[in-house]
Amino acid sequence: MTASLSSGPSHSRGAQRGLHAVAPSPAPAVAAPVLRLVPQPEGLLQVHTAPFRGSVPTVLSQALRAAGLGSRVLISQFLKGGVDQGIHRPITLCGRLQWLRPAMVDCVDGPGHSPEAIVELWAHCRDQLLAGAVDLLVLDELGLALAYGYLDLDAVLATLEQRPAQMDVILTGPSIPEPLMAMADQVTQLRRGF
């Protein structure tokens, strides 16, 4: 007895005789593209700059959002004193964001201040960066700290070149030196009055 192919309703003659439909052989499978997963996302070095102070609010909202989503975040404001905070008394937000200012009773508005607190803050940031202890590092007013002579540009460049591949670093403020601008993956320049 040979099987017949039935494509009609179940009351067809073949079904009445007890014959079973034979399914056509499947078409050859097309090979699926091979997906390669990146083990860790690539971090970015971003610069947010403006000819005036005021580029940090956008960056702070990005940092808060990252911390709220589970990233470890460190924000360091190099020239914002006034609270005599220092590296041993960080403000913690969202459980994963640490906010640091130098241990100074006044804000820095130009050269001539004692650089020890700023150097101490940079050393802490450098250690956190090299250890991969954070996912996002915000260095607020780093350019001015360099312009005022508080930090060494070559040391900052060498440290940023050694950052872990998955770490995001954001530099903010006016006066970002050209070598840092050239190293950046993304530069955002705020303008007003144009």
- Domain regions of the chain by residue span: 45-189
Mean pLDDT within 50-79: 86
β-strands 45-49, 186-189: how paired? parallel
Which pTM does this prediction carry?
A: 0.74
Q: What is the topology classification, in CATH, of domain 45-189?
A: Rossmann fold (3.40.50)
For the purposes of burial, counting CB atoms within 10 Å of the CB of 19, is it exposed (0-12), middle (13-18) or buried (19 or more)? middle
Residue 125 vs residue 40, higher pLDDT = 125
CA angle 59, 160, 106 (to 5 degrees): 55
Q: 65-79, 96-110, 179-193: which range is least confident on average?
A: 96-110
The yes-or-no verdict on residue 124 having pLDDT over 50 is yes
